[in-house]
Structure 1
């Protein structure tokens, strides 16, 4: 509990306040005060009401938590939502997604698709997301204009991609964008070598050197399927994660996405290197990629965050739903009903994501001094009653339609389910128009 004499910009009075740190805590009859975009007060309601505040908001029946953090996705792929469903990963990629990207992805596609994804995520309680997609400069402009927070990873592959004719050009663009945005309060530039099977050793070594020089994070799809690992072992005698370790990429700045295949040696490497893992359960289930052993990783001390992946393979950007799936799947995989309880699941969707991005000192929990990235969930509905543990009810009985209000750095971006900076009808119309163009081409 902290407060100073200067008036608060905003005082929020929810029924429940869930700080995430310390773990497992639910505060009742408490308030949160915001000043200059940061959390300036957390304390009992009675003490809060004695403070000067420019605006006081009662949030009856609501749970106030840190904003959700979507730690992996491909935002603009929202415009490919449902384009090629019910197919195995490599068929989906090689026969459908890559040809569609070659045909359609340009700056306009990325702008409209990223705006669509930002709006969907804000309405679902997400205040920060990690993106890895083409034309990252365009995506960063969308984030800047929206008021949202994001990690934008520069996609790097050995072959030409939309917006970059080579890996070297992509890396150059990444360095330039990193320099342009290094002081941006809400955007962090990262490097995104696509996967072990699409990036050679020489290019991975370049990324490793640059990331170290800039103190930038690296996000990469790793061990997404058993086939990927098996093929690498057959061709090189080495598992992909071991190769990344040998090349020096693993470490606290490395985010390994998917990791459905984890041997004892892989686990030891993750623990020893302090590498973060990004779990995308619904995409992995839909593409039949495999099961990430979340509870085993958690008990070993690995930082596990959660991501939706792109809407083309999920098919939504619903991190609350993703977290519920993660909690249920963790129990089945571990063979234990106590695996990944609701409070730890919420931590995975908030503070663990912040830690993976190197932002844990700024976001991910409700603590005085941190950025006021907050979401208010309405638990007053019939389907949430009765409430014994509001966090359990949030994870197991609540959908994203219960997201009522959302703030990023103290700015309200969702007010009573209405976007404050974006036009929902206009975004919907643009998405429908893209769908008509793309489906017309495919007929």
Structure 2
């Protein structure tokens, strides 16, 4: 018998490649943090000798979910200013609160809260856009989560930096610090075309080419953003980005709720990647990303939650259901986003958008053993005819029982193994007591 570190057996294994495959009574074999085999359980027990064997008789085992757009530390601002338009929400509440409170301690505590929530919902990888990303990197390294750290760029000074030059210097240093890490990487993260001047976007493009990294940016989030750009420059934001050379396979364009047919054609021509944040866009009244039309053009579309301040959760299973239903309603086509494709958006497509699809996103030999197990038994999920449909349309994050990253168990029977839940809640409540008296919701 071959020796492996661990075996994980489940009632169903959903490998995502092929995207609609369901493997009943299968086992994933793990050695040195990577998948070495996926085979029927009876064969696995004859072929492999494991130090640990997790048997999940009522569960679906699938790739860990990939949250392609977050502002993790903003979890400390969850519910601070709900039911407001985007710019009112930002300018009158969020930005003032950040100006008063953002610090390494704020980022550490808010990110710990976010990581705990994401792990308990089956998320193993996130792409974050926020200040003090070095704090997020150190915490992700200690906790064991897979993280893509945004190298933030914005025209205005903040508690993190004095201006674009300072942000870029810090970003390059961040990239150098993590460039060889097995589960932490970096992307440039200019906030948006309306908050980063063209000269600095050009610098971002040049540096991204030099460092061979991607560019993660809010683009066409609201109709107002597009209209303001047309009034001030005579061009839509995507036109300006195209002229700056930023429409290319390295761009990760987040939100994209305001798109013409010609713009979607251009995105396909240039290989731009898109991240869809359905619940945040719905809550802020920002519009609808035309997912079906983008996917028909061959554009990779991933799913992100956005920050908990605008969502108000980091629940990717919930996001999947919303994305699937919204695509059907928006297009008038019930087949626009089938369940298996929605699941792929939060796994393999998320990995592709982040440039990690060679390492994660599906359960195939050679990739890292980033896994999550979801209990599909009970009155809420039975009878069960199609496990993938059941995951997308009835799946609840409270049914996520186990999570592994690179074969390391980070959630065991709903208990976090590398984070202290009681400590996180104590710190979160202390921040609430500091922040709440300073904000008034008119």
Specify the TM-score bucket, using the shorter chain as the normaliser: over 0.9
2:43 corresponds in structure 1 to 47
| 1:9 maps onto 2:5 in alignment | yes
How far does residue 292 in structure 1 lie from its aligned partner after superposition?
0.6
DSSP-derived class of the 1:361 partner: coil
How far does residue 22 in structure 1 lie from its aligned partner after superposition?
1.1
In 1, the alpha carbon distance for the partners of 2:54 and 2:105 equals 39
How far does residue 269 in structure 1 lie from its aligned partner after superposition?
1.5
CA displacement 1:88-108 (0-9 Å, x = unmatched): 000000111111100111111
DSSP-derived class of the 1:394 partner: helix
**Equivalent residue in structure 2 for 1:148, among 128, 137, 145:** 145
In 2, the alpha carbon distance for the partners of 1:201 and 1:441 equals 35
DSSP-derived class of the 2:357 partner: coil
| 1:433 maps onto 2:416 in alignment | no
| 1:241 maps onto 2:238 in alignment | yes
TM value normalised by structure 1: 0.98
| 1:75 maps onto 2:46 in alignment | no
In 1, the alpha carbon distance for the partners of 2:114 and 2:266 equals 34
In 1, the alpha carbon distance for the partners of 2:6 and 2:301 equals 33
In 1, the alpha carbon distance for the partners of 2:136 and 2:53 equals 34
In 2, the alpha carbon distance for the partners of 1:41 and 1:395 equals 26
1:171 corresponds in structure 2 to 168
In 1, the alpha carbon distance for the partners of 2:245 and 2:253 equals 14
| 1:204 maps onto 2:225 in alignment | no
| 1:220 maps onto 2:217 in alignment | yes
In 2, the alpha carbon distance for the partners of 1:166 and 1:231 equals 23
**Counterparts in 2 of 1:41-440, with a 5 A limit?**
41-50=37-46, 51-440=48-437
Residue segments in structure 1 that go unaligned for 5+ positions in a row:
none
DSSP-derived class of the 1:382 partner: coil
CA displacement 1:381-426 (0-9 Å, x = unmatched): 2210000001100110121000000000000000000000111111
DSSP-derived class of the 1:429 partner: helix
Q: Pick which of 368-377 and 23-32 moved more.
A: 23-32
How far does residue 441 in structure 1 lie from its aligned partner after superposition?
2.8
DSSP-derived class of the 1:55 partner: strand
Residue segments in structure 2 that go unaligned for 5+ positions in a row:
none
RMSD: 0.9
DSSP-derived class of the 1:71 partner: strand
DSSP-derived class of the 2:93 partner: helix
How far does residue 143 in structure 1 lie from its aligned partner after superposition?
0.8
DSSP-derived class of the 2:330 partner: helix
In 1, the alpha carbon distance for the partners of 2:136 and 2:329 equals 37
CA displacement 1:138-191 (0-9 Å, x = unmatched): 111111111000111011111102211111100000001101110011111111
**Equivalent residue in structure 1 for 2:15, among 19, 23, 43:** 19
Indicate if the aligned counterparts of 1:14 and 1:59 stay in contact, CA closer than 8 A.
Answer: yes
CA displacement 1:184-221 (0-9 Å, x = unmatched): 11111111000010011100000000000000111000
CA displacement 1:40-77 (0-9 Å, x = unmatched): 11111121011211111110110000000000010000
Q: Which runs of 4+ in 1 moved over 3 A?
A: none
DSSP-derived class of the 2:69 partner: coil
In 1, the alpha carbon distance for the partners of 2:106 and 2:274 equals 29
In 1, the alpha carbon distance for the partners of 2:183 and 2:286 equals 33
Q: Pick which of 326-335 and 241-250 moved more.
A: 241-250
Indicate if the aligned counterparts of 1:242 and 1:269 stay in contact, CA closer than 8 A.
Answer: no
How far does residue 8 in structure 1 lie from its aligned partner after superposition?
1.1
How far does residue 6 in structure 1 lie from its aligned partner after superposition?
4.0
In 1, the alpha carbon distance for the partners of 2:321 and 2:312 equals 15
2:30 corresponds in structure 1 to 34
In 2, the alpha carbon distance for the partners of 1:312 and 1:226 equals 21
TM value normalised by structure 2: 0.98
How far does residue 442 in structure 1 lie from its aligned partner after superposition?
3.0
